[in-house]
Amino acid sequence: MTATQGIGSPATDKGPAIEIEIRNLSKVFGDGPRAFKALDDIQLDIRQGEFFTLLGPSGCGKTTLLRLIAGFEQPSSGLLQINGKAVAGLGPNRRPVNTVFQNYALFPHMTLAENIGFGLKMLGKSRSEVASTTQEMLKLVKMDAMADRKPAQISGGQQQRIALARALAPRPRVLLLDEPLSALDLKLRKEMQVELKRLQLETGITFVFVTHDQEEALTMSDRIAVISGGQVLQMGTPHEIYNFPAERFVADFIGDTNFIDAEIVQYEGDFAQVRLPGGVVREASLPEGFNARVGETVTVVIRPEHASLTERGDLQATVENAVFFGTDTHIHLRLEDQTPFILRRQNTGVSVAPPEAGQHACIAVAEGGIQVLRS
């Protein structure tokens, strides 16, 4: 097995194998009237060798789910299997997983190399294997020139790399990451997003990443599970989650979104003709299994980047203000029915003055840019 393949590489003959299987998993804290259900009937399959993200707001249950996988908590009910083996009742040291925490938890009195090798020593590895694996991990995270430094002598981003190297050194089947980028500044966080994805691709290990940051999830993930109120609301690729949200919470949580009331004029299959505010009729995609009715008022979503200002458009609006973001300008408008609307216009290098507050504007929506929401 090569380093590129890794121990978590996907199968090639029948598609990716399942690394983590979760069925009807629930977790309740407390008893009686004070009992709190943190997770409610979770169903998930996480594939071998993928970067899988648990995404949701604070308190949604994503960290609880990670702790159940790690073995720091035990489920109240349901099935949890890793590599085809049930792990209920097993502690963290008896599971083929390792965890990277928010605070990195490096030993301050040890060198970086000693931090990486500590877990290998506890596993009873030989001195030569500890040394060779430690050097391999230092090179993997591009920190081999700093092996003899202490954690206090390096930056936060470098500490995170060492924490990753220490967790990867025993070559676990699964690496669990509990919001490891949250303490970093914006620029360093973006750099580490690229580094994390590189490490996952080079090792082939299954990464399960917890975050409340939508950009992190969209940037790094092969697939995302959006969690709210202890339930998985939608699971799919970043493209699917962003462009085809299953319901209003997902659409609202992932990026900026415009919500507009529209009337269904006619429908066939996966598409409907809808009448937008102002009377213009446009085609909109329907979510799977949606039972549309002619004359029904539904909510449609339009992403800010799928709209533009034109001389003649689908929607009429009044400009409220324009906010410059460097790469693009966000134009805040108010439709004729008083619905707020945000439009994102890219700044292409040619100086284009933003529209002035109070100015009338026509909004054109791109083909395929309108979707009916389930709820």
- pTM for the whole structure: 0.86
The answer to whether residue 4 scores a pLDDT higher than 50 is no
Over the chain, what HEC string results? CCCCCCCCCCCCCCCCCEEEEEEEEEEEECCHHHCEEEEEEEEEEEECCCEEEEECCCCCCHHHHHHHHHCCCCCCEEEEEECCEECCCCCHHHCCEEEECCCCCCCCCCCHHHHHHHHHHHCCCCHHHHHHHHHHHHHHCCCHHHCCCCHHHCCHHHHHHHHHHHHHCCCCCEEEEECCCCCCCHHHHHHHHHHHHHHHHHHCCEEEEEECCHHHHHHHCCEEEEEECCEEEEEECHHHHHHCCCCHHHHHHCCCCEEEEEEEEEEECCEEEEECCCCCEEEEECCCCCCCCCCCEEEEEECHHHEEEECCCCEEEEEEEEEECCCEEEEEEEECCCCEEEEEEECCCCCCCCCCCCCEEEEEECCCCCEECCC
pLDDT at 11: 43
- Tens of pLDDT, residue by residue over 319-345, are 999 998 888 889 999 999 999 999 998
The answer to whether residue 353 scores a pLDDT higher than 80 is no
pLDDT band per the 50, 70, 90 thresholds, residue 47: very high
In the block, which residue shows the tokens 């002035």? 356
How many residues does the structure list for the chain?
A: 375
Contact status, residue 57 vs residue 106, Cβ threshold 8 Å: no
Q: Who wins on pLDDT, 182 or 114?
A: 114
Average pLDDT, integer, range 133-138: 92
Taking every pair of Cα atoms in the chain, the longest distance, rounded to a whole number of angstroms, is 76
Distance, CA of 263 to CA of 170 (rounded, Å): 58
pLDDT at 242: 92
pLDDT at 269: 85
The answer to whether residue 72 scores a pLDDT higher than 80 is yes
pLDDT at 184: 78
Q: What percent of the chain has pLDDT over 70?
A: 95
Average pLDDT, integer, range 146-152: 93
The answer to whether residue 14 scores a pLDDT higher than 70 is no
Q: What percent of the chain has pLDDT over 90?
A: 69
pLDDT at 187: 83
Which tokens hold the place of 333?
Answer: 């408008």
pLDDT at 6: 36
CB atoms within 10 A of CB 228: 19
Q: Who wins on pLDDT, 347 or 216?
A: 216
Q: What is the mean pLDDT of the chain?
A: 89
pLDDT at 181: 83
- Tens of pLDDT, residue by residue over 153-195, are 998 888 988 988 999 999 999 999 998 888 778 888 888 888 8
- Tens of pLDDT, residue by residue over 261-315, are 999 999 888 899 999 999 999 999 988 888 888 999 999 999 999 999 998 889 9
pLDDT at 247: 87
pLDDT at 344: 92
pLDDT at 349: 66
